[in-house]
Structure 1
Amino acid sequence: MELAQIRLMVSDFPAVYRFYRDVLGLKPQFEAESGPYAKLSPDTGHAAIALQDRAQMAEVLGKLAAEPEGYRVLVVLRVDDLDAAHAELTSRGAAFTRAPGPMGDRMRVAYLEDPEGNLIELQEWLALREQAGNTPA
């Protein structure tokens, strides 16, 4: 078995698509602003975030639970320079719910939400486990 992707089911597909493309700067596999599906990736690595129109998936399944309340997803994006990423995304219209700050002694994090309220963590690693004097997990 191989994990192909994690897909966020969204109600306002165009708004969420533009957020991941224009604000976070992820690259779409193909242009699909009106949906019902898109896959977007950072410039590096093979990881991707997929978006699925919630109403279209409800038609496929014949039913779909009501939209969840509270945080149900945490998208984590690693960056080399958290302060620079924070400044760049803020200039693109991102509103952070927590400014850059420490999380333990090995990383700094900042949080924002996409237009559907999905939580996004930007993280900058300050030291790997081995560099911090710990054994690898």
Structure 2
Amino acid sequence: MELTQIRLLVSDFPVVYRFYRDVLGLKPQFEAESGPYAKFSPDAGSGGIALQERGQMAGVLAELGVRPVGYRALVVLRVDDLAAAHRELTARGAVFTRGPEAMGERMRVAYLADPEENVIELQEWVVLREQAGGAAT
């Protein structure tokens, strides 16, 4: 089994698409600002983040409904320099809800939400697991 993507179901596709492209700076595989689907690939790693118009999927899975209730997903993005990423994303219009701050001894984190209130965690590994005597990251 291979993970191909994490897909977020969104109600206002153009707004969320622009957030991931313009504010977070992720690169879409193809331009699709009007939807109903787009995939963003990270600079490193496998898989990616995809957006799917919620109304379209509600037609397939009727129990979804048109609007979600509460937080629906947590997207975690690793960065090399959290302070620099925080400054850059803030300059692009991101509003952080918490951090940057330490989370334990090995990493620093900061949190923000996308326009549909999916939580995004940015994390910077200060000490890699192999340096701390654990398994590889």
Calculate the TM-score normalised by the size of structure 1. 0.92
Q: Is the Cα–Cα contact under 8 Å of residues 108 and 124 in structure 2 kept in the other structure?
A: yes
Gaps of 5+ in 2: none
Aligned residues: 135
- Provide the identity percentage: 75
Report the RMSD for the aligned CA atoms in angstroms.
1.4
Contact 1:102–1:109, Cα closer than 8 Å, also in 2: yes
Partner Cα distance (1:47, 1:96) in 2: 25
**In 1: Cα distance, 2:135 partner to 2:107 partner:** 16
| Aligned match of 1:79 | 79
How do 1:8-19 residues align onto structure 2 when only pairs under 5 Å count? 8-19=8-19
Q: What are the within-5 Å matches in structure 2 for residues 1-137 of structure 1?
A: 1-61=1-61, 63-66=62-65, 67-132=67-132, 134-136=133-135
Q: Distance in 1 between matches of 2:135 and 2:44?
A: 24
Distance 2:41 2:2 in 1: 18
Instruction: Kindly provide the CA deviation profile for residues 37-56 of structure 1, in whole angstroms up to 9, marking residues without a partner as x.
Output: 00011223333100000011
For 2:53 and 2:100, the matched residues in 1 are separated by: 31
State the secondary structure of the residue aligned to 2:99: strand
Contact 1:25 1:42 in 2 (8 A): no
TM-score, normalised relative to structure 2:
0.92
